[in-house]
Amino acid sequence: MGLGGCIILIATGAILTFATDWDMQGVNLDLVGIIFMIVGLIGVATFSSIAKRRRVVVRPGAPVVDEEPRNRSGYSDGYGV
């Protein structure tokens, strides 16, 4: 489940908790909405922690390695002269 799915869970839970007045026998819709919101918040927290780990931090002044292959003549500007 991605970030969009988590936001949909939070929105659905908020709608069930705050915007409905249905009564279903044997089901507490307020509790179901709160559970949806909690699961959505846990998903957002997990997604954001995973996204932080994927970021690569490059220190200022670190050498830049160009891994683009050069053409056959050895020139990288594309003119070959």
The full 3-state SS of 10-58, as one line of letters, equals HHHHHHHHHCCCCCECCECHHHHHHHHHHHHHHHHHHHHHHHHHHCCCC
Q: Which domain holds residue 11?
A: 3-51
Average pLDDT over residues 49-67: 70
Average pLDDT over residues 31-42: 96
The C-alpha R_g of the chain, in whole angstroms, comes to: 26
Domain-located, residue 45: yes
- Biggest distance spanned by C-alpha atoms of the chain: 82
What pLDDT score does 30 carry?
A: 93
How many domains, the chain?
1
Domain-located, residue 37: yes
What is the reported pTM? 0.62
Domain-located, residue 72: no
Question: SS3 of 8, please?
Answer: helix
What pLDDT score does 46 carry?
A: 92
Q: What are 76's two structure tokens?
A: 């990288």
Q: If pLDDT is split at 50, 70 and 90, which confidence band does 31 have?
A: very high
